[in-house]
Amino acid sequence: MPKRYRAGVIGSTGRGGYGHGLDRVYLGLDECDIIAVADDNAEGLQEAGKRLGVLNLYDDYREMLAKETFDIVSVCPTWLDRHAEMVLAVAEAGACVFLEKPIARTLTEADVMISACEKAGVTLGIAHQGRAVNTAQYARKLINAGAIGDVISAQMRGKEDNRGGGEDLMVLGTHALDLLRYLLGRNPAWVFGSVTMDDGRPIQPGDAIDGPVELGLIAGDRIHALYGFGNGVTATFESRRNQEDSNRFGVQIYGTRGIMTVYHLSQEISIYESPYWRPDRTVLVRDISMEALEKSNADTEFQSPQLEGNATIVRDILQAREEGRRPVSSGHDGRWSLEMIHGIYASHLYGGRISLPLENRDHPLYSYD
């Protein structure tokens, strides 16, 4: 008889809710049963119970963890101020964790969570769905097989809406940074960052503000960063506030034989097969998204790449614990995105290139002297 897994859900209506489908993912997984839900908002708790078909409802997640037994628990809130305490409580209860991105407000918090999960022998996975969907996995195989030749450089952009700059860097930049690391299969060794206000003035520590949804400190309307990935490979990240009709959120990877574009959390992936990097009517454009679907045996029950990515991550978290390995989207991966984000601020304030990972684990906008 196939093994069944007991799942729990921690939400917080009005303070980050249930994230991006981290509660509903189990409804599409036949091997998982949602045992209980916790939410400190009474109305939100009842709605979640109805939505998920769950009768065991708790207004205190600690009480739920004490009374129920789980194999995995989703820590769903998008607000970051309670990520660490919730993850530590789940780890102490002996369950694996599926955590909404970004992982934390500071690297210190991320370090504590990763250490606690490893000490407890449970697996921590992060909801970076872009790397987990079938199209991204297929794209990585193509890069490794030389479909665009030797990788030379890459460009990343945030969503660049009214959140452009510091907020965009944390909320959506985390996806682009994580996806590039996954596609390249390597970590950056250094970063050189520049953060400015709309008028072009370089930010100072006094420009930092508490980000919305408890993101921690953020700053700047324009973010520019250059990363070094070794072997001469470099990558840039940019985000500017209020770029009307911007549809550039994603990653472009430049190789000696062409360009791969990855947009909208890996929903749209193409290769421009030209060593000259000048796509025009004569250039063959390969639709990698369609190729991936045609060649894969991926589940068809999921209505969106986000749900597909969540399902892939959850299944891999459970399997990774049994096999004693890191999952495809691990806490270490989530922490690397935060390293790359905070590295931008650290480099800007230092005034030069900064090595990664960072030695100072406090938030650069707090700790700069």
| pLDDT for the residue numbered 83 | 98
For residues 250-262, average pLDDT? 95
Beta bridge partners of 354: 191
Q: Which residue has the higher pLDDT, 175 or 244?
A: 175
Return the pLDDT at 99: 98
Comparing 39-43, 154-158, 285-289, the range with the smallest average pLDDT is 285-289
Task: Please give the radius of gyration of the chain, using alpha carbons only, rounded to the nearest integer.
Answer: 21
Residue 19 has pLDDT above 60, yes or no: yes
* Structural domain that includes position 293: 131-299+336-355
| 76-123 pLDDT, tens digit each | 999 999 999 999 999 999 999 999 999 999 999 999 999 999 999 999
User: Which residue, among 326, 362, 324, 357, has the nearest Cα to 343 in the 3D structure?
Assistant: 357
Cα-Cα end-to-end distance for the chain:
60
> Where does the chain show beta strands of DSSP type E?
5-11, 32-39, 57-58, 72-75, 96-99, 124-126, 151-157, 190-196, 209-210, 217-218, 222-228, 234-240, 250-255, 258-263, 268-272, 285-287, 354-355
> What is the C-alpha to C-alpha distance for residues 1 and 174, in angstroms, rounded to an integer?
39
Any domain includes 62: yes
| pLDDT (average), residues 4-8 | 98
Average pLDDT over residues 25-36: 97
Give me the pLDDT at residue 36, please: 98
Both 152 and 285 in a single domain? Answer: yes
Output 285 or 65, whichever has higher pLDDT. 65
Q: For the residues 124-139, what does the mean pLDDT come to? A: 94
CATH number at residue 82: 3.40.50.720
Q: Which two tokens stand for residue 92?
A: 């102490």
Structure pTM? 0.95
How many CA atoms, within 13 angstroms, populate the side-chain half-sphere of residue 152? 11
Residue 34 sits in the same domain as residue 78: yes
Q: Which residues contact 275 (CB under 8 A, 6 or more apart)?
A: 149, 256, 257, 258
Residues 197 and 342 in one domain: yes
Residue linked to tokens 């919305």 = 212
List pLDDT tens digits, range 293-310: 776 655 445 667 788 999
User: Mean per-residue pLDDT for 328-350?
Assistant: 98
Q: Within this chain, do residues 182 and 242 fall inside the same structural domain, yes or no?
A: yes
The 10s digit of each residue's pLDDT in 177-206 is 999 999 999 999 999 999 999 999 999 999
Boundary (domain end) residue, out of 72, 88, 122: 122
Average pLDDT over residues 132-143: 92
**3 state DSSP class of 338:** helix
In DSSP terms, 97 is beta-bridged to 73, 124
If pLDDT is split at 50, 70 and 90, which confidence band does 248 have?
A: confident
Name the region of 185 (left: φ>0; alpha: ψ -120 to 50; beta: rest). left
Q: For residue 288, what is the domain's CATH number?
A: 3.30.360.10
When divided into structural domains, the chain yields a total of 2
Half-sphere exposure in the Cβ direction for 352 (13 Å, CA) = 1
The DSSP output letter for 330 is: B
Q: Are strands 268-272 and 285-287 parallel, antiparallel or unpaired?
A: antiparallel
pLDDT of residue 241: 94
Domain boundary among 100, 122, 144: 122
Q: Do 74 and 21 belong to one domain?
A: yes
277: confidence class by pLDDT, cuts 50, 70, 90:
confident
Averaged pLDDT score across all residues of the chain = 93
Give the tens place of pLDDT for each residue, 49-76: 999 999 999 999 999 999 999 999 999 9
Residue 245 pLDDT > 90: no
pLDDT value for 312: 96
User: Residue 1 has what pLDDT?
Assistant: 63
Looking at 122, 149, 177, which one is the last position of a domain? 122
Q: Are residues 189 and 118 in the same domain?
A: no
- Distance (Å, rounded) from C-alpha 72 to C-alpha 41? 22
What is the structure's pLDDT at 301?
Answer: 57
User: Which has more confidence, 305 or 127?
Assistant: 127
